[in-house]
Amino acid sequence: MAKNVAEEVEASSSSSPLLSVEGASVEFWTGSSWLRVVDQVSFVVPAGGRVGIVGESGSGKTMTGLAILGLIPGPAGRLAEGSIKFDGHDLAQLPPAEMRRIRGNDIAMVFQEPMRSLNPMMSIGDQIAEGMRRHWGWSKKKATNRAIELLDRVEIPAAAQRAREYPHHLSGGMRQRAMIALALACDPKLLIADEPTTALDVTVQAQIIELFRELSDERDMALLFITHDLGVVSELCSDLVVMYSGQVVETGDVDRVFDRPTHPYTEGLLQSLPKLGAGNRELGFIPGNPPDPAALPPGCRFQPRCPHALPICETSQPELLTIGDRQSRCLLNSELSLQGVGS
C-alpha cells in the first residue's frame, strides 16, 4: 500500500518528501496585465506515495502539473513565485540544461491524449529506447530490449512485434499503455499523470488504473495523479488535493476527506458522485459556474455557488489553514459540519 502523508511524516521525521510545492503561482500575460491562474499552491508528495489533485476545468490543476516540470508555455506564461523542491533541488531555480536532465529521467509525465504526445514518425520501440540512450548512454540494442520488456510490463500483447509499429496502429488503450511505458523508461522517481484515463472506455480505464497501482507499488514510484474524477482518485490515491479556481481548497487523507470534507466545494463534488444504490434518483449538483479568473469575486471564490455561504464570505478571502494533517480554505471551517459519503 502506498504510504500517505501522515505515515510518511511520522515514519521519518528527518527525511523530507520527494516533492514539495510551496506557494507556487502561475500567471499568463493577457496583453495588458498578468492573469493569475494558479494561486499559491502548496502540497507534498512523499517518496512512493500516491497523491491525487482533483479539480474541474479552470481549477489550474493541469498548469500545476506543467509548472512542476517547467513546461508552462512561454513567453506568455510564467511561474510568478513559489518553490518546487524535488529531491533536494528547487526546480524553479534550475538552469534549462539541468531541467532537461530531470525531465523524463527523474520525473516523467503522461498526458490525456497519447496520440498528441507520441511522435507519429517514430516506431514505439524507438521512442521508448531514445530516452535510455539519451540519458543513460545505452546502445540501441540494449535500449530496444528494455523497451520491449517495458511494453510487456504494461500488458501490451506481442510486445516485440508492437515495438516496431507506429502509434497510429495502436488502439486508444494501447497507446496510453505505450505512453506509460515511455514514461517509465528511465525509472523515474515521480510520475505525473494528467487525466490519463479520461479519454478511455470505462473497462479500459479500470485496467489502466490497476496498472498504475501495480507499477507504483512494485517500483516504489511516487504518483501525482491529476484528474476531475473523484471516483478514480479514491481508487488509486492515498492523499487528496482539491483545487478550485486556481487555489488549493482542501487537502488530506482520501478516506478521511470522503468521510468528512471540510470545504463546501469538496462536499459538492462528493454529492455529485454517482449514488450507486438501488432506486436512488437524486442528482447532486453544484449550481452556477466557476469564476472567470479575470473577474474574481471579492471574497471567497466559491462563495457565489456555496450553499453554506454567509455575508462574511462575500467580503473576506479565506486563507488555507492547517488543522492536524489536513488543510482547508474556508472561513466557516469550524462551524460547518459537512456531509461526506461513506465507503
Partner 1 sequence: MTAPLLEVDNLSVQFVVGRGRRKRIIRAVQDASFSIGHGETLAVVGESGSGKSTTAQAILGLVNPSAGSVMFEGSDLLKNSSREMREVRRHLQVVFQDPYSSLDPMMTVADLIAEPLDNFEKLSSAARSDKVGELLELVRLPANAATRYPHEFSGGQRQRIAIARALAVNPKLIICDEAVSALDVSIRNQILTLLRDLQEQLGVSYLFIGHDLSMIEQFAERVAVMYLGRIVETGTVEEVFRSPRHQYTGALLSAIPTHHKALRAGRIILQGEIPDPASPPSGCVFHPRCPAATEICGTTRPPAVQTKSGEALCHHPLEIDSRG
Partner 2 sequence: MTTVTEHDAVKALQFEPHETPSSNRKTEGPYRRLARRFRSNKLAMTALVCLLLIVAAAIFAPLLAPYPPAQISMENRLLPPTSGHLLGTDELGRDTLSRLLYASRTSLLAAVTAVGVAVVIGLPGGLAAGFFGGWPDKVLSRIADAVMCFPYLLLAMAIISALGPGLRNAMTAIGLVYAPRLFRIVRAAVLEVRHSTYIEAARTSGTTSIRSITRHILPNISSPLIVQVTVMLSAALLAEASLSFLGFGVTAPDASWGMMLGRGFGNIRTAPWGTYWPGLAIAVTTLSLNVIGDGLRDSLGRERVRPPRKARKSGGAG
Residue placing its CB nearer to partner 1 in the complex, 121 or 278: 278
From partner 1, partner 2, none, which one binds at residue 135 (CB under 5 to 8 Å depending on kind)?
A: partner 2
By CB under 8 A, tell whether 72 contacts partner 2. Answer: yes
CB of residue 29 vs partner 2: minimum separation in angstroms? 4
By CB under 8 A, tell whether 283 contacts partner 1. Answer: yes
By CB under 8 A, tell whether 334 contacts partner 2. Answer: no
From partner 2, partner 1, none, which one binds at residue 201 (CB under 5 to 8 Å depending on kind)?
A: partner 1
**Residue 38 · residue 60 · CB < 8 Å:** yes
By CB under 8 A, tell whether 120 contacts partner 1. Answer: no
Alpha-carbon span 50 to 1, nearest angstrom: 10
Alpha-carbon span 230 to 213, nearest angstrom: 16
By CB under 8 A, tell whether 262 contacts partner 2. Answer: no
Residue placing its CB nearer to partner 2 in the complex, 92 or 236: 92
CB of residue 138 vs partner 2: minimum separation in angstroms? 14
From partner 2, partner 1, none, which one binds at residue 194 (CB under 5 to 8 Å depending on kind)?
A: partner 2
Among 279, 294, 311, 324, binds partner 1 (CB under 8 A): 279
3-state helix/strand/coil string of the chain? CCCCHHHHHHHCCCCCCCEEEEEEEEEEECCCCEEEEEEEEEEEECCCCEEEEECCCCCCHHHHHHHHCCCCCCCCEEEEEEEEEECCEEHHHCCHHHHHHHECCCEEEECCCHHHHCCCCCCHHHHHHHHHHHHHCCCHHHHHHHHHHHHHHCCCCCHHHHHCCCHHHCCHHHHHHHHHHHHHCCCCCEEEEECCCCCCCHHHHHHHHHHHHHHHHHHCCEEEEEECCHHHHHHHCCEEEEEECCEEEEEEEHHHHHHCCCCHHHHHHHHHCCCCCCCCCCCCCCCCCCCCCCCCCCCCCCHHHCCCCCHHHHHCCCCCEEECCEEECCCCCCCCCCCCCCC
By CB under 8 A, tell whether 167 contacts partner 2. Answer: no
Cell numbers standing for residue 28: 499568463
Stretch that binds partner 2, among 76-84, 279-287, 299-307, 332-340 (CB under 8 A): 76-84
Among 105, 123, 247, 271, binds partner 2 (CB under 8 A): 105
Closest CA to 27 of 294, 327, 239: 294
By CB under 8 A, tell whether 280 contacts partner 1. Answer: yes
Stretch that binds partner 2, among 42-50, 123-131, 253-261, 275-283 (CB under 8 A): 123-131
Alpha-carbon span 173 to 180, nearest angstrom: 11
**Residue 90 · residue 83 · CB < 8 Å:** yes
CB of residue 47 vs partner 1: minimum separation in angstroms? 25
Among 97, 278, 294, 295, binds partner 1 (CB under 8 A): 278
Query: Residues 44 to 63: which contact partner 1 by CB under 8 A?
Result: 56-57
Residues binding partner 2: number (CB under 8 A): 62
Alpha-carbon span 254 to 341, nearest angstrom: 11
Query: Residues 206 to 235: which contact partner 1 by CB under 8 A?
Result: 206-207, 209-210, 228-232, 234-235
Q: How far is CA 304 from the centre of its chain?
A: 26
By CB under 8 A, tell whether 119 contacts partner 2. Answer: yes
CB of residue 161 vs partner 1: minimum separation in angstroms? 15
Footprint of partner 1 on this chain (CB under 8 A)?
56-57, 171-174, 201-207, 209-210, 228-232, 234-235, 254, 258, 268-269, 272-276, 278-287, 289-290, 341, 343
Footprint of partner 2 on this chain (CB under 8 A)?
26, 28-31, 34-35, 37, 57-58, 62-63, 66-67, 69-81, 92-100, 103-105, 108-109, 111-113, 116-117, 119, 122, 127, 130-131, 134-135, 182-183, 194, 289, 291-295
